[in-house]
Structure 1
Amino acid sequence: MDRGVAGATDQGADGGRFTVSVDPAPDATVLRLAGELDHDTADVLSGALETVLDGGTPRVLVDCEGLEFCDSTGLNVLLRARLSAADAGTAVELSGLRAAVARLFEITGADGVFRTYPTLADALNGGATAGVEET
């Protein structure tokens, strides 16, 4: 598995139930999530985030349009990455949250700590946000 390489796809031991592709963008790195993010697949995302954050990118955009499911383990990976990134002066932002995933963020209060965008295009263009933390 190549992590942090443009266009690379990481697959979990489950044979591809969850994938992360990493792509460069102007002033950001985009992580495109697809499938089911849970206890069994969270290490794939954790490793990709760690590699991207170690690379010193100023902004990480996590595109969740293809994310069909996220449990508390996946949410915790994103929250930990956000804290680590903030310590390094990097932003972790989300786009394209599907209703079921957005609901998890809402009921846990995580929607108040991530800057979110309706689509990846909005995020890349600095468009209107659906939720913003101002701390």
Structure 2
Amino acid sequence: MGVLTVSTVETAGRLVVRLSGECDMSCSDELAAALSAAIGRSPRTEVDLGGLRFLDSSGIHVLVTAHRDARARQAIMYVTHAAGVVATVLELTGVAALLAPPPQASGDRS
């Protein structure tokens, strides 16, 4: 059972949702709610995965669904700072490319 910590801060014209811990099926609803709220509040949402140690298929599903929801609202949602096993999972599934920061976000600093 994963323990996920979600925090949200507004910075430089975007909302940053920071995730830490582990994201599996037991906390995917919590993640979905946090991302939906963030996307509803801001046209630009960064999901900082730097503190995330584990991400399973349910977490990937939530990220992809949130990305689609953002696009439907003509907003942007992308992930940053994926490392270790989380980065590997995103790369192997092809989701890393889908959720990559837009070119103008490359200079963003949290």
**TM-score when normalising by structure 1:** 0.73
Q: Runs of 5+ in structure 2 lacking a partner? A: none
Q: Among 64, 89, 101, which residue is 1:104 paired with?
A: 89
Over the matched positions of the two proteins, sequence identity in percent amounts to 32
Distance 2:107 2:24 in 1: 25
**TM-score when normalising by structure 2:** 0.88
How do 1:1-135 and structure 2 match up within 5 A?
17-55=3-41, 57-116=42-101, 124-125=108-109
Q: Runs of 5+ in structure 1 lacking a partner? A: 1-13, 126-135
Q: Residue 82 of structure 2: SS of its match in structure 1?
A: coil
Q: Residue 81 of structure 1: SS of its match in structure 2?
A: helix
Distance 2:70 2:27 in 1: 21
Q: Aligned AA for 2:72?
A: D
Q: Which residue number corresponds to residue 128 of structure 1?
A: none
How many residues are treated as equivalent by the alignment? 107
Distance 2:56 2:101 in 1: 18
Q: Compute the RMSD of aligned alpha carbons.
A: 2.0
Larger-gyration structure (1/2)? 1
Structure 1's consecutive aligned runs of 4 or more residues displaced over 6 angstroms after TM superposition are none
Distance 1:73 1:123 in 2: 30
Q: Residue 25 of structure 2: SS of its match in structure 1?
A: coil
Distance 2:67 2:19 in 1: 16
